[in-house]
Structure 1
């Protein structure tokens, strides 16, 4: 049944139905309640969607998922295909929007992420283990909030962990032709703080990366993992042979997994990691 629906969807004109539309349209919605557009800051970009799985209790974990898009594109409503499978793990899932270039530059989108996380910690995340997660540009935001205390301040201590999917955790001006990070020190973008001593208090990390990713090289994950280990931050890394930049987030989608096309057990690895040692709680 799913394969037939995929074939029908593939026959639709591209202008009428994007790959995200197809992924979301084929992702089962049963068993998960959606509360859209919860405000955390002024403006339409200052909102998040909250997915609550059936049977969730007051101690169920909550994942804050930041989508990618090079800090220039993306919308929370396009990521139900990722949020619903994550909710199937028994976790509430919040998907915030954040301001994009050219409306803002660094550190505006990181500050938006921090504002969203503070609001979620004080709201649906109260009393729960709260994990940050992101793909690509969203992984930069999630890991910056987990690694660098200047963004969340004392609220960082409430985080239970952070998960990065194919994140560009450090790059220079040669990788930033639009000047999105023009205001960063020496125009070098880093998720980690400038002083490694500030890594103290970083929650456990899970870094997932495709070895065939030619957008964000695997060295991004391995270098950050080495930095974390050197400063006693708990970190696990998974490198997936043959998996590319989009494939690592597409692997979360239910129709992709149903057809055995995910290429790597991304969702299962997230599940096992979440079920690991007792996490910190808010």
Structure 2
């Protein structure tokens, strides 16, 4: 049975200024360790890169349902990568983060073959994908211990959970309830003053991942001197910050325009 997102992706018109240039590329040996790449049509010179991580409560998701997002970001002038990663119950925390980091390292090593500039990478995610992106940027096990740190110039988080301990919902209990050190799972606990600039956005009508997550992380980052742009979209709920990237969804709120300005200021310099 098709999901609503699968139907939406299939039916929504895509940005004509971009195309999928590679599909089903393996960044690891597991079946879900594959990615697709999008780019502008007729690109000129090595282009900056956006590494987009989709959500799905860490137990659902398929990169093929995000063509609309990949094409939208590529049309802005970015080589855009959308990767699958292993999910619950096949794996537990932090394996899904490890997969995303493995894919990101593959991008740094290989994206030049597809017209991308590996020294100018932006991380971006929605919902659980925003959590993954922020954790890669902040947790000491990932970018902080890798040479890729200098390549990741900025991070975009849309409607992400960043400060949700103690766990009080089915999703968070299922995903993080058995972790020996639960506070280690919280992005807000790993804020550091060397973090890349961040764009954090939320819909004020979000009843799944409450806007307080964005407010709290942005405040903590500012407190240590990290550049943060915090955006609130009063009329949007949880999925709408993602849907607003699509051509028909852009009338709801200027999410794509705001993201584009942030990415341009950090990657096209």
Normalised by the length of structure 1, the TM-score is 0.85
Indicate the SS of the match to 1:79: helix
Distance in 2, matches of 1:147 and 1:187, equals: 14
Number of aligned pairs?
259
**Which residue number corresponds to residue 78 of structure 1?**
65
CA distance in 1, matches of 2:243, 2:4: 14
Would you say the 8 A contact 1:210–1:218 is kept in 2? Answer: yes
In the other structure, the counterpart of 1:242 is: 235
Correspondence 1:169-248 to 2 at 5 A: 169-172=162-165, 173-175=167-169, 176-183=172-179, 185-186=181-182, 189-194=185-190, 196=191, 199-248=192-241
Distance change in 2, residues 1:200/1:247 (3 Å): same
- The 1-side partners of 2:44 and 2:178 are apart by 44
The answer on 1:267 being equivalent to 2:256 is yes
Q: Which runs of 5+ in 1 are unaligned?
A: 1-14
Please give the residue correspondences for 1:1-282 in structure 2 after superposition, counting only pairs within 5 Å: 15=1, 18-28=4-14, 30-34=16-20, 35-124=22-111, 125-152=116-143, 153-154=145-146, 155-172=148-165, 173-175=167-169, 176-183=172-179, 185-186=181-182, 189-194=185-190, 196=191, 199-257=192-250, 260=251, 263-276=252-265
Cα pair distance change 1:277/1:94, threshold 3 Å: closer
Partners of 2:210 and 2:71 in 1: CA distance: 28
Calculate the aligned-residue CA RMSD, in Å: 2.0
Alignment gaps of 5+ in structure 2: none
Alignment partners' CA distance in 2, 1:82 and 1:264: 15
Relative distance call for 1:100 and 1:277 in structure 2 (3 A) is closer
Give the direction of change, closer, same or farther, for the CA distance of 1:73–1:16 in structure 2 (3 Å limit).
closer
Computing the radius of gyration from Cα coordinates, the structure with the larger value is: 1
Moved over 6 A (4+): none
